[in-house]
Structure 1
Amino acid sequence: MTTDRPTRTLWARLKAHYGEGLPPLADFRGVFKHVRWLMYVVRTMPLGFRRLWKLQPIVALVPSLFCIFLLRAGFEYIPVAMAFLAGAFLFILLRIYRLNGGEDGRDSTAARLSDFAVQYALGGVLVFILPFYLESATFFSWNIAFNVYLLALTVVANWDALYLALVVRRPLWRTVFHGSIFFATLNFIFPVLLGMRNVWSILISAGLSGLLVLAFAHPERWLWRRPKNMALVLFGVAAVAAALWFGRALIPPAPLKLVYGTACDGVEQRKPALPFERMTEGERSRATFFSAIFAPMGLKEGVVHVWRHDGEPVSEVDLGSLTGGREEGFRTWSRHTLREGPGRYTVEVWTAGGQLVGRGSFDVTPKAE
């Protein structure tokens, strides 16, 4: 007579799945048995450890999504915590590269453990900041391309085979990879933590990321042997900064986000009155566009409304500087006389530095004969 095997709990199944091949801690003795156990796991790479490592993107994504939820709930000081967390990841990354700058001893257990820590920090930083750049992007605009690029970097950082083939074994790609992560992280931290305008954040982040790559990720001695080498490197950093400046419209203005935008008849008590999406020619002589922009506390940024008719710019209104920290977003509006006639009117919300925050539109249909 056979008996059914007892149903294992979910915890027991997870433990068996992710613990496969891991040696018992009891096999290691002494005060530093936990360290010796970890060194053995890193050196032998058992199946359970490799499975557990694949969960790293989820572990990094959870706190980011939680912070976004708290931001939307009105917790004004969460941006500071986010910036410190992202900064901590970056600090760990830089310290590891500083201590591990040479190529000697790459097959040692310590070097391998260091490589794991570096890859975890890279993936953690990317997964943490990516949702905020996605929140700031405007779909069907050019700045979504930057998010596609960050997403590609995130896949590479969290896919061991790609990371090994594209980053570890290719010095040039490694430089671009690390420099991009440094830039995206610093460009997120500066506006949140220091209240820096996004346009200055782009320039400073570009310069610092180039120098950080040289000083920490690639501290090769040849850079310091000849002044010509350093001049070429500094010229390269300046060229990248210039490219980012002229291409700043491709970068989402994280952490800014257009919370709400609509055309309306006017504004009453700082709220849109009679919002609409379509009107008949002659129904109104002018329209108002109301926008609410989320920004963390302490951030000040210039805002501009650009009115377009069938894609052609017809008006540009400077609305001054927004001040962050309001749960409902910084509310501002502009008006335009509808002298262009029927067609689609689009209002783009830009920072004073030239980054697209969002847009809204409404249609004017011809008057019936």
Structure 2
Amino acid sequence: MPLPASATLLARITPLVEKLKRYAWLWPPTAFVIGLLGFFLVNRQQWLGAVLALGLLFAWCLLLAESLLTRLLNFRGQPGLPRMVTTFIAQLIHQETLFFTLPFFLATTVWASGQAIFTLLLIGCGLLAILDPLYFGLAQRHRWLYFMFHALCVFVVVLVTLPIMLHLTTGQSLILAIVAMAIFSVPSLINLMQPQGLWRWLAMIGLIVVLASAAWIGRVWIPPATLWLSGNALSPSFDVGAREPRGESVLTPSTLSGQGLYAYTAIRAPRGLREKIYHVWRHNGEVVDRIPLVIRGGREQGYRAWTHKQNFPSASQGNWQIDVMTATDQRIGTLRFRVDEDASKATHADGDIHSPPGLPGWNIRHLVAGSDQDDE
């Protein structure tokens, strides 16, 4: 009697998975290298970066197809793929996702903010994904945590790939990432909660809403994966033609009331992207100005944008901060300065363009061949 088609499929897949497991250790570093290539190719050979991102999305489609196939076979009374096989396939996709997207978040995180927590969480998840005892233990004994892990992977893959492939803004990508996370979480939640009655279905829908709401509320801690600050400066004057800061001064109240202050930022973004950002001026933690700017991606040194604040309050002494924010309140970078009557305590605005601390753009973009873009 011939075996059912599903049994034949299982007989072929299971030995193949056992062979692949011997080389599974190669997958994380390979995905990390591919992620690095995708990151550096965002502005140079962007079509190739988009191809790499498309490959990652295709892998997720395969994972979703595998999940649906297993449920279809079970519905027809036929054996589905063994749990070991499905978990191993999911592990490979999770590894690829985390190590592909990690270079983007390492380069765009403002480490002196809550964004560091999100990126460190991704690093921890990446380590979890390559340690088989922990990963399989999570998948088998703590299904709700495994569900959260899966949802996070869906979230970050959409957050990184859409600006590269479709030139969507950071805010649009964030919203679609939340929607995708909710959609891709449905099969996992069905498997986790086994909803049969009305109340279980309502509870599952409520959990999806809570998950999406948590992602939206916590967006301020999520780095804008394809935007980063490549340079910044404070200056008393500005050469609009050359788009460069000029002059120098000590930031005392009298100086600011007389000539104001220019805040210059150079922001890297994927070629073809057009996005509104904001310079949010804060005095002792309180927002005093929120000035919109529109940037365009593609320039090697970053799109040069600036704001000129003139209406400083009479009591302007204290600590000032300029947050460079997206329209959805994700921080791209920060400039800080102090205003004081005592010139020795006040910040010296020298007009020099400084690179921010941390890993902005990895600072090794010269390794990628191609000519610089000086459009803006």
Alignment TM class, shorter chain as reference: 0.7 to 0.9
| Correspondence list, 1:164-183, <5 A | 164-183=136-155
Tell me the alpha carbon deviations over residues 247-290 of structure 1, each in whole angstroms, 9 at most, x when there is no partner. 21111111111222221221432522237696455445311111
Q: Does 1:324 align with 2:300?
A: no
Q: Could you tell me how far apart the structure 1 residues matched to 2:186 and 2:20 are? A: 33
Task: Choose the corresponding residue for 2:166, options 194, 207, 214.
Answer: 194
Q: Does 1:244 align with 2:215?
A: yes
Q: Does 1:68 align with 2:57?
A: no
Q: Could you tell me how far apart the structure 1 residues matched to 2:40 and 2:195 are? A: 47
The structure-2 alpha-carbon separation of the partners of 1:40 and 1:273, relative to structure 1 and needing over 3 Å to count, comes to closer
Q: Does 1:128 align with 2:100?
A: yes
Partner of 1:302: 276
Mapped contact 1:263–1:361 kept (Cα < 8 A) = no
| TM-score after normalising by structure 1 | 0.76
Partner of 2:329: 354
- Given residue 34 of structure 2, which amino acid in structure 1 is its aligned partner? P
Tell me the alpha carbon deviations over residues 114-171 of structure 1, each in whole angstroms, 9 at most, x when there is no partner. 4333211111111000111222211111122111221121111111111011223322
1:327 is paired with a residue of what secondary structure? Answer: coil
- Sequence identity percentage: 25
Q: 1:190 deviation in Å?
A: 2.5
The structure-2 alpha-carbon separation of the partners of 1:89 and 1:121, relative to structure 1 and needing over 3 Å to count, comes to same
1:362 is paired with a residue of what secondary structure? Answer: strand
Q: 1:292 deviation in Å?
A: 1.6
Mapped contact 2:42–2:271 kept (Cα < 8 A) = no
Tell me the alpha carbon deviations over residues 155-202 of structure 1, each in whole angstroms, 9 at most, x when there is no partner. 111111110112233221121111111111122223332233333333
Partner of 1:210: 182
Mapped contact 2:147–2:185 kept (Cα < 8 A) = yes
Q: 1:97 deviation in Å?
A: 2.8
Tell me the alpha carbon deviations over residues 19-62 of structure 1, each in whole angstroms, 9 at most, x when there is no partner. xxxxxxxxxxxxxxxx98992882797xxx3xx43333212111
1:293 is paired with a residue of what secondary structure? Answer: strand
The structure-2 alpha-carbon separation of the partners of 1:235 and 1:279, relative to structure 1 and needing over 3 Å to count, comes to same
Partner of 2:308: 335
Q: Does 1:311 align with 2:281?
A: no
Q: Could you tell me how far apart the structure 2 residues matched to 1:59 and 1:125 are? A: 11
Partner of 1:89: 59
- Given residue 93 of structure 1, which amino acid in structure 2 is its aligned partner? L
Q: Could you tell me how far apart the structure 1 residues matched to 2:13 and 2:174 are? A: 44
Mapped contact 2:99–2:126 kept (Cα < 8 A) = yes
The structure-2 alpha-carbon separation of the partners of 1:251 and 1:178, relative to structure 1 and needing over 3 Å to count, comes to same
Q: 1:353 deviation in Å?
A: 1.6
Higher RCO (C-alpha 8 Å, min separation 6) = 2
Q: 1:230 deviation in Å?
A: 2.3
Q: Does 1:234 align with 2:208?
A: no
Mapped contact 2:283–2:318 kept (Cα < 8 A) = yes
Q: Unaligned 5+ residue runs, structure 1? A: 1-34
Q: 1:113 deviation in Å?
A: 4.4
Partner of 2:224: 253
1:247 is paired with a residue of what secondary structure? Answer: helix
Mapped contact 1:56–1:158 kept (Cα < 8 A) = no
Q: Does 1:162 align with 2:134?
A: yes
| Correspondence list, 1:32-111, <5 A | 39=15, 42=18, 49=22, 52-71=23-42, 74-101=44-71
The structure-2 alpha-carbon separation of the partners of 1:363 and 1:214, relative to structure 1 and needing over 3 Å to count, comes to same
Mapped contact 2:37–2:49 kept (Cα < 8 A) = no
Q: Could you tell me how far apart the structure 2 residues matched to 1:219 and 1:233 are? A: 8
Of structures 1 and 2, the larger Rg is shown by 1
Q: Could you tell me how far apart the structure 2 residues matched to 1:277 and 1:62 are? A: 45
Partner of 1:27: none
Q: Unaligned 5+ residue runs, structure 2? A: 1-10, 345-376
Q: 1:95 deviation in Å?
A: 2.6
* RMSD of Structure 2 on Structure 1 (CA): 3.2
Mapped contact 1:300–1:324 kept (Cα < 8 A) = yes
- Given residue 302 of structure 2, which amino acid in structure 1 is its aligned partner? G
2:177 is paired with a residue of what secondary structure? Answer: helix
Q: Could you tell me how far apart the structure 2 residues matched to 1:267 and 1:77 are? A: 35
